[in-house]
Structure 1
Amino acid sequence: MKERLAELVSESCDGELTPADVLAATVPLAYLGVTSLAQMRLIDAIEREYGVEVDLSGDVTFLDSVDGLASWVEAARSAA
């Protein structure tokens, strides 16, 4: 799942980051150049790909890393 999420991050920022860059990140993705627009694209892609809904009024710090994204998606899918 992490590999696919890294691909989605890369696609969301128009290839500015490679999936390998995303997976190797040791800082929040925003520090690597993932903009708010790219985050919105990523959220849309995650919702379509995994059939979940991201609540933007809640805590969205899971968007900071692939590990956070993977944990959030797994939890959201098991809660559905």
Structure 2
Amino acid sequence: MTYDQMYPNASPMEYKMKLLLGMRGFKTHDIHFRGDLNKKKRYLRCAYWEHIDKGSISYVSEHTGKKFEEEAIYDDDCGWKFSYHIL
């Protein structure tokens, strides 16, 4: 099962964000969106918590009008894990 099947885009805006990141060289099948049940917010992830460079986040922000807040969590087994909350 792919990320696209497990976590389908919830809106045309999410599809656009995925397309824009694809234009920046990311594999679109690695880009997915999830919901934060506690805060009822959506966030963007790349593959298994991979980092997305600031230039790519700025590119998506510029073309969608959405702002992002990077969240980094350190895991002893996996190292740094990144997600990007959509504001």
TM-score normalised to structure 1 length? 0.42
More strand by share: 2
TM-score normalised to structure 2 length? 0.39
Larger Rg: 2
More helix by share: 1
Q: Which has the higher contact order (CA 8 A, sep 6+)?
A: 1
